[in-house]
Chain A
Amino acid sequence: MATKTESLTKETLLDWYRELVLVRKFEDQCHHQYFEEKDPARKITGVYLHLASGSEATHVGAVKALGKDDHVITAYRDHGIAIARGTDPKRVMAEMFGKRTGTSGGKGGSMHLADRSVNFWGGYAIVGGHIPLGVGIALKEKYTKTKNAVLCFIGDGALNNGYFHEAANMAQIWRLPIVFLVENNFVGMGTRIEESSGQTQPTKRAIGYGMKEGPSIDGQNILEVYNTVKAELDWARENGPVLMEAKTYRFEGHGVSDKLYDSRDDLKAELSVWEKRDPINVLRAHLESSFKNLDKDLAKIDAETTQAVQEALDFAIASPAPDYNDLISHVYVGM
């Protein structure tokens, strides 16, 4: 890999490890509260819940590469991105339950997390719709002559949406500071990339816009994700947009409606291959090969993350539902 790698301390790597484990446990808890929980007061309801399990290294690694004043925007698989950017998992969990204390006050739900205070501009659920929004945020940064950049996650399926084409071209003609990070899990809902895309190598699409064709990386390896995204963000600050790709997988399928894995042996086999490249294990192996006597640190992380998710769940369940005033507020500013 051509990118410059910074030397990362044991503390940093343990911190990332903690976040990968936290996101996984958070998602597992959501899964449990949606499918297993019997008590209606403790159940996650609704029709949408898209878990990020399996994609944690791409989500956490890329977000960690952002500076404080940089920006991140994504689609609907957004739980891990919110947590990695620093949003309190309690407020993220509360949004899953549609509670007043949620990141969007219970009005957005799982697909519409956002936290303005950390420049997390949201999860969006019209596929492709957030891409020009990210470009608009990058336009603001160029217009006001800062060196801040935008990280815009894009699913491989969204590359076939007209929004991507129009927004990518506009970003390039205006040389806007944005990294388009294709989170390539090789499938959009149930349609495989080779069935949906004439060009199955996502970064090649950059050529059509005269844009920098960025690297294609292993999205299961957080070090590779972090180092590469950081380098591309720095390139984008000075030069304009980049289209790069992280190859990853989603262990829980598209969302709670995905039944394909129940009946398809080929998908089960594919999943088991990817599970061998679990991003948590990849980082753990790196840690164990680099440092000695980690048992205490890892046990502490295990206990702390379990506790953090439990606290998030307790907080969400104890929180009040939104009320009539919430229903009618924020339709307009000042009305």
Chain B
Amino acid sequence: MSKNLSMRDALRSALHEEMLRDDRVFIMGEEVGRWNGTHKVTRGFFDEFGPERVRDTPISEMAIGGVAVGAAMAGLRPVAEMMTINFALLAFDAIINHAAKIHYMFNGQFTVPLVIRAATGWGNQATATHSHTPEPIWAHFPGLIVGCPSNAYDAKGMLKAAIRDDNPVLFTEVIALYPKPSQIPDDEYIIPIGKSDVKRQGDDVTLVAYGRGVEWALEAANILAKEDIQAEVIDVRWLRPLDMSAVLESFKKTNRCVIVEESLPMYSFGSEIAAQLQEAAFDYMDAPIKRVTAMDVPLPFAREIELMALPNASKVVKAVKEVL
């Protein structure tokens, strides 16, 4: 049995199950309680679980991050919501210098079983400070796990894995994907950390993506299929730890690769995948590895030029044709 749920409700269902399963799991963040969550992922939780387990915080990202780290070290399992990844930049130190370093720096004496949830990606004309998709910068640092689901089904299984893991996890949720549905099984399932997924099979080109990039890659693959070009689409799901096994296997078959991401081009997800591919599979490369990313500009307000700066399926199609 299964239900058709939006990614928002799939995430809500994951949180709900984990809250019921483990008393140590609690939620803290801006507007998570009485407001029912800015993105409504925690809708109804305040009434059901009460103010101790669903904690509205002041607008204090440094403290949301740092207090959650301390609570996690002490034995709770906080799920801290940052409202958006843009605001999580204020908590960069708490997450990078503390959450990601404490287990190592004190030689394993403490663990930080913490999940930081944050909405990511461009919103409709949200402008430069509210449109970041910066997963790759966070994934730069050892000690942190970074995941970003591309659909409702993955979102539920990945969030449950994140909550149960003993490491700190930055879990980003693409705003544009919140309303999009998948069939969600009634039975519990977990999608393990560090496991990528082949979303579509094909022999002609490998498309590597995460988050919203997977949607554009799949859309492009459907367009290309009409011209008898078969793209294989790989969703890495987790930027760290990064599972390159399916990517490598696919590249050895297709010998061509286009990387699709909503984030920026410099020092990026695409840079990392391309570098790893040429190191591990240089002899299999038949064409330059291409990247389709957001343009290297801050995102503007005006709709026409905002969309111009972002990736889309036709940009992916164009890039694929350049490498065939």
Which residues of A pack against B, CB within 8 Å?
71, 103-108, 112, 114-116, 121-122, 124, 126, 129, 131-141, 143-144, 162-163, 166-167, 169-170, 173-174, 326, 329-335
Tell me, in angstroms, the Cα distance from A174 to B55 when the chains sit together.
9
CB atoms of B66 and A108 under 8 A apart: no
Q: Is the CB of B58 within 8 A of A169?
A: yes
Measured CA separation A163–B103 after assembly (Å): 21
Asked whether any CB of chain A lies closer than 8 Å to the CB of B75, the reply is yes
**The one of A108, A124, A133 that contacts B107, using a Cβ cutoff of 8 Å:** A108
Given contacts A136-B72, A140-B74, contact A163 B66 (CB under 8 A): yes
Q: Chain B nearest CB: distance from A209 CB in Å?
A: 11
Most buried by B among A138, A163, A170: A170
User: Is B107's CB under 8 angstroms from A132's CB?
Assistant: no
- A104 pairs with B69, CB closer than 8 A: no
Contacting residues, chain B, for A129 (C-beta < 8 A): 66, 93-94, 97-98
Q: Do A333 and B107 have beta carbons less than 8 Å apart?
A: no
B93 & A132 in contact (Cβ 8 Å cutoff): no
> Is the CB–CB distance between A126 and B167 below 8 Å?
no
Question: A42: shortest Cβ distance to chain B, in Å?
Answer: 23
Q: Are A112 and B104 in contact (CB under 8 A)?
A: no
Complex interface: chain B residues within 8 A of A140 (CB): 70-71, 74-76
Q: Is B143's CB under 8 angstroms from A331's CB?
A: yes
B26: min CB distance to chain A, Å: 7
Cβ contact within 8 Å between A162 and B107:
no
Residue B68 at the A interface, CB < 8 A?
A: yes
A112 to B143, CA, bound (A): 17
Neighbouring B residues of A330 by C-beta, 8 Å:
103-104, 107-108
Partner of B60, one of A106, A108, A121, A169: A169
Q: How far is the CB of B192 from chain A (nearest CB, A)?
A: 12
Across the interface, do A333 and B111 meet the contact criterion of CB distance under 8 Å?
A: yes
Q: Which residues of B have CB within 8 Å of A106?
A: 107
Find residues 27-60 in chain B having any chain A CB closer than 8 Å to their own CB. 52, 55, 57-58, 60
Question: Across the two chains, which residue of chain A brings its CB closest to B111?
Answer: A333
A143 and B108 CA atoms in complex are apart in Å by: 25
Chain B residue numbers with a CB within 8 Å of A166 are 58, 60-63, 66
Say whether B17 faces chain A, with CB atoms less than 8 Å apart.
no
The reply to whether A170 and B71 form a contact with Cβ atoms under 8 Å apart is no
Q: Is B63's CB under 8 angstroms from A132's CB?
A: yes
CB pair B57 A170 closer than 8 Å = yes
Q: Is the CB of A170 within 8 A of B63?
A: yes
Given A140-B71, A140-B75, A331-B143, A133 and B106 touching (CB < 8 A)? Answer: no
Alpha-carbon distance A333/B111, docked complex (angstroms)? 7
What are the residues of chain A within 8 A of B166 when measuring CB–CB?
A: 333-334
- Decide yes or no: A143 and B109 within 8 Å by CB, A133-B73, A135-B63 being known contacts: no
The reply to whether B58 and A132 form a contact with Cβ atoms under 8 Å apart is no
Are the CB atoms of B167 and A332 closer together than 8 Å? yes
Residue of B nearest to A326 (CB): B107
* Complex CA–CA separation, A103 to B76 (angstroms): 24
Distance between Cα atoms of A133 and B70 in the complex (Å): 4
Q: B158: shortest Cβ distance to chain A, in Å?
A: 17
Looking at B55, B74, B103, the one whose CB has the most chain A CB atoms below 10 A away is B74
The verdict on A108 contacting B70 (CB below 8 Å), with A133-B98, A143-B26, A166-B62 known, is no
The 28 listed contacts between A and B (C-beta, < 8 Å) are A104-B106, A105-B108, A108-B106, A112-B106, A114-B109, A121-B70, A122-B106, A122-B110, A129-B94, A132-B62, A133-B66, A137-B70, A137-B73, A138-B70, A166-B58, A166-B61, A166-B63, A166-B66, A167-B62, A169-B60, A170-B63, A173-B58, A330-B104, A332-B103, A332-B167, A333-B165, A333-B167, A334-B166
